[in-house]
Amino acid sequence: MSPTFPEERLNPARWAQNGLVIAPGSHPTFIHGALPGEVVRASIVKRQAKLSFARTSAVEKSSADRIASDCSAFPECGGCSFRHVSYAHELEIKRQLIRELKPLGDLTADILEIFTGEPTGYRNQTRIQWDGKNAGFFGYHLHSVVPFPEHGCKNLSDRLNTFIRQHYKSQKSPSRETTFREPGIAVDPTKAGAATFDLPGGAWKFAASGFFQANKFLILPWLNFIKDLVPDATPLSELYCGSGIIGGWVGDRAKSYSGTDVARPNIEFARENFKARGLKGSFEVMDLEREVPELKPTCIANPARAGLSPAVCDAIRANVKTLIYSSCNPATLNRDLTRLPEFSLTNCAMFDFFPRTHHVEMVIRLDRK
Ligand SMILES: C[S@@+](CC[C@H](N)C(=O)[O-])C[C@H]1O[C@@H](n2cnc3c(N)ncnc32)[C@H](O)[C@@H]1O
């Protein structure tokens, strides 16, 4: 039986971070699936001492900005935040939310270019939950499963949707969580399998159970943007390098290259990819929370959502002239800017890697003042 929650009538007033709209008051509520100016009924899915989180269950007074969602699972599903506004309006909201982060918003206000691709069918991977009865995604702020919609997930290709449906039809006892990748891979986390992504110059290999950028339409524009930010003929270090895709794309533009990542399979694939392309570079497995390699004058960092470790910030402050930082979490990017006071921001862009969700990728270049 699906869980039931108390419902409240709420007046969402303005956008807040994470794709939520806030209903202010002595006990503010952050609402998923509402729009500013609406009156909604919302299920309280999490109540804390000072604030609550809620999911819209009915709209009593609708905003002129609301459009009909194209997904039957929204807003119960926690995956998307913006299926009820046009994509153009979503981008305005995302730009506004970046502006509200200080100092990031002020520093990027006049120069923030936004790169977009197709807003549907863009994801080359997804993680599906199985609760013993249904396969699907976690509900908003919940650990209960919202069944995979009949029409499939709009963020996935038709091919991957079909593969996922067939997988669950053919499995007697599916795993509690399964990662699926294009073109049709159900990842077995106990095996060291490889997956590939087609790039000009040859397929890029990475660990099927490891990290890879999710938006197949924007990977190339993102790589080209980063490559153009790299000074010519510079010695280059890359932190959190994964399978080395950024360094590999920068290629001969760098005078020398070294890459670091905590996951050994990533580093093994990075070495293999460099060798296949005839590129020179050295790689090291290292936990950047604990230690940092000697950094070259130009450094690229593409950390996970937690952002740069304090040790990495200290090493950048000590040795680096130019830092190119690609971040999937503007909040930790914003925090890290305050930890790098010797640098000024000289370029930036937002890549809308995750349309219809609240997530974005930001790329900035910082140069020593
Ligand atoms: C956002 S991914 C970027 C990978 C690569 N740039 C790419 O585009 O495929 C972040 C990477 O940071 C690595 N990572 C996470 N925590 C780390 C740590 N403490 N030390 C070093 N690497 C870490 C992960 O293994 C992952 O490959």
pLDDT tens track for 74-130: 999 999 999 999 999 999 999 999 999 999 999 998 888 999 999 999 999 999 999
Q: Is the pLDDT of residue 13 over 50?
A: yes
Choosing from 71, 153, 313, 328, the catalytic residue is 328
How far does residue 299's CA lie from ligand 1's centre (Å)?
14
Q: Per the domain annotation, does 349 fall within a domain?
A: yes
Residue 73 lies in a domain: yes
Which band of pLDDT confidence, cut at 50, 70 and 90, is reported for residue 3?
low
pLDDT above 70: percentage of residues in the chain: 99
Strand order in the sheet with 52-61: 7-10, 39-47, 52-61, 29-32, 20-23, 14-16
- Residue where one domain finishes, among candidates 156, 172, 193: 193
pLDDT exceeds 50 at position 206: yes
pLDDT of residue 341: 97
The DSSP 8-state label assigned to residue 244 in this structure reads: S
Which residue among 59, 84, 109 closes a domain? 84
- Residue 111 to residue 364: CA distance in whole angstroms: 11
Digit-coded pLDDT (tens) for 29-69: 999 999 999 999 999 999 999 999 999 999 999 999 999 99
What is the arithmetic mean of pLDDT over 20-30? Answer: 96
328 carries an active-site annotation: yes
Residue 2, pLDDT above cutoff 70: no
Q: Is residue 89 part of a domain?
A: no
Of 5, 20, 9, 23, residue with least CA distance to 75: 20
In a domain, residue 263? The reply is yes
Contact between residue 206 and residue 266 where contact means Cβ atoms under 8 Å apart: yes
Whether residue 110 sits in one domain with residue 62: no
Q: What is the pLDDT of residue 308?
A: 98
Looking up residue 328, the CATH number of its domain turns out to be 3.40.50.150
Q: Enumerate residues lining ligand 1, CB below 6 A.
A: 211-213, 240-243, 245-246, 261-263, 266, 287-289, 302-304
| 109 & 222 share domain | yes
Does residue 353 surpass a pLDDT of 70? yes
Q: How far is the CA of 99 from the centre of ligand 1 (A)?
A: 27
DSSP annotation of 251: G
Q: Are residues 210 and 308 in the same domain?
A: yes
- 348: β partners: 364
- pLDDT for 1: 46
Rounded mean pLDDT of 212-223?
97
Residue 226 Cα to ligand 1 midpoint, Å, equals 17
Q: Same structural domain for residues 256 and 150?
A: no
Domain limits at 150? 125-193
Number of structural domains the chain divides into:
3
Ligand 1 centroid – CA 336 distance (Å): 16
What atom of ligand 1 comes closest to residue 240's alpha carbon? 12
Mean pLDDT of 126-148: 94
Do the beta carbons of residue 141 and residue 53 sit within 8 Å?
A: yes
In a domain, residue 90? The reply is no
- Ligand 1 pocket test, candidate residues 197, 223, 236, 240, most atoms within 8 A of CB: 240
Strand partners, 324: 300, 365
Same domain, 109 and 133: no
Average pLDDT of the chain to the nearest whole number: 96
Q: Is 245 found in the same domain as 168?
A: no
Spatial separation of the C-alpha atoms in residues 108 and 344, rounded to whole Å? 11
List CB contacts of 313: < 8 A, sequence separation 6 or more: 336, 339, 340
pLDDT at 18 over 80: yes
Looking at the fold, whether 340 and 221 belong to one and the same domain comes out as: yes
Looking at the structure, tell me whether residues 225 and 337 fall in a common domain.
yes
Regarding whether 14 and 78 lie in a shared domain, the answer is yes
Pick the residue whose CA is nearest to atom 26 on ligand 1: 242
- Residue 227 Cα, ligand 1 centroid: separation in angstroms? 19
189 DSSP β-pair partners? none
Q: What does pTM read for this prediction?
A: 0.96
The reply to whether 349 and 239 lie within a common domain is: yes
Q: Which one of 170, 193, 216 terminates a domain?
A: 193
Task: Let me know whether 73 and 27 are in one domain.
Answer: yes
The enclosing domain of 58 has a CATH number of: 2.40.50.140
Look at residue 75 and tell me if it is in a domain.
Answer: yes
Pocket test for ligand 1, best of 216, 261, 362 (most atoms within 8 A of CB): 261
Q: What is the dihedral of CA 57, 60, 64, 68, to 10 degrees?
A: 40
Rg (CA), the chain: 22
Sequence-distant (6+) residues with CB within 8 A of 275 are: none
Model confidence at 4: pLDDT above 80: no
41: Cα within 13 Å, side-chain hemisphere: 6
pLDDT at 191: 83
Q: Answer yes or no: are the C-beta atoms of 145 and 97 closer than 8 Å.
A: no
Instruction: For residue range 234-285, list pLDDT tens digits in order.
Output: 999 999 999 999 999 999 999 999 999 999 999 999 999 999 999 999 999 9
Q: Considering only CA atoms, which residue is closest to atom 5 of ligand 1?
A: 242
22 within a domain of the structure (yes/no)? yes
Residue with tokens 């303005």: 14
- 172 found inside a domain: yes
**Is there a single domain that holds both residue 114 and residue 251?**
yes
Considering only the C-alpha atoms of the chain, give the largest distance between any 2 of them, rounded to a whole number of Å: 62
